[in-house]
Amino acid sequence: MNALQAQLREELAQLAAAGLYRRRHAVDGSHGTLLTVDGRPCVNFCSNDYLGLAADPRLAQAAAEALSRCGVGSGAAALVSGYNQEHAGLEQALAEFVGRPRALLFSSGWAANLGVLRALLTRADDLVADELNHASLIDGGRLSGARYRRVGHCDLPAFQRALAAARERKLPASARQPRAFVVTDTVFSMDGDLADLPALARLARRYGAALMVDDAHGFGVLGANGRGAPEHFSGEGGIAADDVDVYIATLGKSLGVAGAFVAGSQELIDYLVQRARTWVFSTAMPPALAAAARAALGIVNNEPERRRRLFANIARFRAGAEQLGIAIGSPHATRGAAVGWEAITPIQPLVIGGAARTLALARHLFEAGFWVAAIRPPTVPPNTARLRITLSAAHAPAQIDALLEALAEGCRRCGVNAGGLAAPAA
C-alpha cells in the first residue's frame, strides 16, 4: 500500500469510528416514491421529488421523443455548438414562469452557484451570506475572492450589521464600484425553514446591495402557482420579482429532472454568457433533459392539485408527529425566518443530535420499509445529526401514517427522546 492509500485508510477508519462514514445504496429501477433498494421495496421519504415527477412517464416520454430526434449528447458547450432549440425553448419557458426577462441553463445547481458568484464578484466586493446556505453558495463565494461575511442563520440585524460594515470597508482603487451581494437559500435544505425575503430585499435596497437567492427547494412548490419563493412573498408588503437580482433554481428537485437555471435581467444573463466559467467551459446538458424539464414545467402549470396534495401531506405528517410527541423542526433559532414556514416546507427534519443514534433510527426505519437518510456532520453542524424527512405529493396518506408509527416505535427502540429535543442555544 502506498502512502496516500495508507493515509486515506486511516482517515476512513476515523470517520467510521465516529459514525460519519457514508455509503451509497443503489436503487433498482426508477426513483419514485416506491422504490427497490438492496433488493427490498421501500417508501422513499428523503428525496427532493416534491411533486412526484421524477418517475412520471410523461417526462420520460418527452425525453424519449427528444432523444430520438436529437440523440443523446449536445457535443459541446453552449457557446460552441452545444446549444439546442430544446435549451432555448426551456430557457424562455422558465423565464416566463418566474416572471423575469431571461433565463440561462446550467448543468447543475452547483455549477450555477459557482459560475454566478465567480463571475459577478471579485476581491473588491462583499458577500453577505446566511451561515446555513448550501455548500455550493459557500464554495462559490470563496472562489470569487469576495470578502465573505458569514451571518447567523436568518439573523436580520446581523445581515444589517454586515451590510453596514461592507459599506465602511476601505477599498483599493478598482476598475468599477465595489459591489455587495446578499446571498441566501430560500428554503434551507437541511432545516426546511424559509428566509424572510421581503426583509432581506429591503435591507439590500437600503444598502445598495444586490440580492441573490437560491430557490432550489421553493421552485415548483411555493407560491400560488408554484413559481417559487418570490411568488410566495408577492403582494401586499412583499416583493416584486425584480427585487431578486439573481434568481437560481434547480431542475432536479420539484421538477424531477436535473440541471439548473439562473433568471434575471437581460444584462445579467448576457454577462453570464460572457463570464460564467462553469457555463462557458462545460458541455451543454443533453437536449432530451431540457425537453423533460419543459414537460415537467407544463405539469406544474396544469396540475395545481399536486401542490395541494403536497401541502395536505405536510399537514398530515405534522399533525401526526405532534400527536405522537415527535418534535419536528429546525434546531436553529429561526426568529428571523418567514412566519408560517412550517406548514409549507416539504423538508421536515427530526433532529436527533448524535450521529450513531441517528443512523440506528434510520436503520430501524429501513427495516420497517421506509427510506429516510441520516444526515450527519459535516452536512449539518456538529451534534445536530438528523433525519431529513421530506414529503411528496406522491405519498399516500396511509404511507405517511405508517411512517409516523414506525418513527414512534423506532424512537422507543433506539432511545431517542424525540419530544424532548433541546433546541441548541441561539
Catalytic residues: 189, 217, 253
Nearest CB to ligand PLP, comparing residues 186 and 313 = 186
Instruction: Specify whether the CB–CB gap between 281 and 115 falls below 8 A.
Output: no
User: Closest approach of Cβ 42 to ligand PLP, in Å?
Assistant: 22
Footprint (CB under 6 A) of ligand PLP, residues 278-337: none
Distance from chain centroid for Cα 170: 35
User: Closest approach of Cβ 368 to ligand PLP, in Å?
Assistant: 27
Dihedral over alpha carbons 316, 317, 322, 324 (to 10 degrees):
110
Nearest CB to ligand PLP, comparing residues 35 and 105 = 105
Instruction: Pick the binder of ligand PLP from 125, 214, 245, 342 (CB under 6 A).
Output: 214
Instruction: Specify whether the CB–CB gap between 411 and 361 falls below 8 A.
Output: yes
Extract the C-alpha cell encoding 88: 432555448
Helical pair 397-414 and 305-324, crossing angle rounded to 10 deg? 30
Nearest CB to ligand PLP, comparing residues 134 and 364 = 134
Taken as a whole, the chain contains a residue count of: 426
Nearest CB to ligand PLP, comparing residues 291 and 361 = 291
Footprint (CB under 6 A) of ligand PLP, residues 73-112: 108-110
- Beta strands 260-264 and 102-106 are antiparallel
Q: Which stretch binds ligand PLP (CB under 6 A): 173-181, 214-222, 301-309, 366-374?
A: 214-222
Under rule CB under 6 A, residue 228 binds ligand PLP: no
Identify the sign of the CA torsion 72, 75, 76, 81. Answer: negative
Task: Enter the DSSP assignment of 241.
Answer: G
Nearest CB to ligand PLP, comparing residues 107 and 399 = 107
Look at residues 263, 252, 346, 248 and name the one whose alpha carbon lies nearest to residue 293. Answer: 252
User: Closest approach of Cβ 333 to ligand PLP, in Å?
Assistant: 20
Q: Which stretch binds ligand PLP (CB under 6 A): 17-25, 60-68, 210-218, 379-387?
A: 210-218
User: Closest approach of Cβ 134 to ligand PLP, in Å?
Assistant: 4
Report which residue's Cβ sits closest to ligand PLP.
109
Under rule CB under 6 A, residue 47 binds ligand PLP: no
Taking the C-alpha atoms of residue 211 and residue 159, their distance in angstroms, rounded to an integer, is 12
Quick note: the x/- pattern for ligand PLP over 355-384, rule CB under 6 A, is ------------------------------
Taking the C-alpha atoms of residue 83 and residue 79, their distance in angstroms, rounded to an integer, is 7
Quick note: the x/- pattern for ligand PLP over 240-279, rule CB under 6 A, is ----------x-x-------x-------------------
Q: Give the count of residues interacting with ligand PLP (CB under 6 A).
A: 14
Instruction: Pick the binder of ligand PLP from 189, 254, 278, 390 (CB under 6 A).
Output: 189
Task: Enter the DSSP assignment of 285.
Answer: P
Instruction: Specify whether the CB–CB gap between 182 and 364 falls below 8 A.
Output: no
User: Closest approach of Cβ 189 to ligand PLP, in Å?
Assistant: 4
Q: Which stretch binds ligand PLP (CB under 6 A): 8-16, 213-221, 357-365, 380-388?
A: 213-221
Name the β-bridge partners of 351: 386
Nearest CB to ligand PLP, comparing residues 124 and 216 = 216
User: Closest approach of Cβ 52 to ligand PLP, in Å?
Assistant: 18
Instruction: Specify whether the CB–CB gap between 399 and 35 falls below 8 A.
Output: no
Which uninterrupted H or E stretch holds 246? strand 246-250
* Residue 26: φ, ψ to 5°: -80, 130
Nearest CB to ligand PLP, comparing residues 86 and 214 = 214
Taking the C-alpha atoms of residue 35 and residue 70, their distance in angstroms, rounded to an integer, is 30
Name the β-bridge partners of 194: 187
Under rule CB under 6 A, residue 185 binds ligand PLP: yes
Instruction: Specify whether the CB–CB gap between 381 and 327 falls below 8 A.
Output: no
User: Closest approach of Cβ 255 to ligand PLP, in Å?
Assistant: 10
User: Closest approach of Cβ 110 to ligand PLP, in Å?
Assistant: 4
Under rule CB under 6 A, residue 390 binds ligand PLP: no
Task: Enter the DSSP assignment of 320.
Answer: H
Footprint (CB under 6 A) of ligand PLP, residues 136-155: 136
In three-state secondary structure terms, 6 is helix
Tell me the H-state helices in 102-212. 109-120, 135-144, 156-168, 197-206
Binding-site ranges for ligand PLP (CB under 6 A): 108-110, 113, 134, 136, 185, 189, 214, 216-217, 250, 252, 260
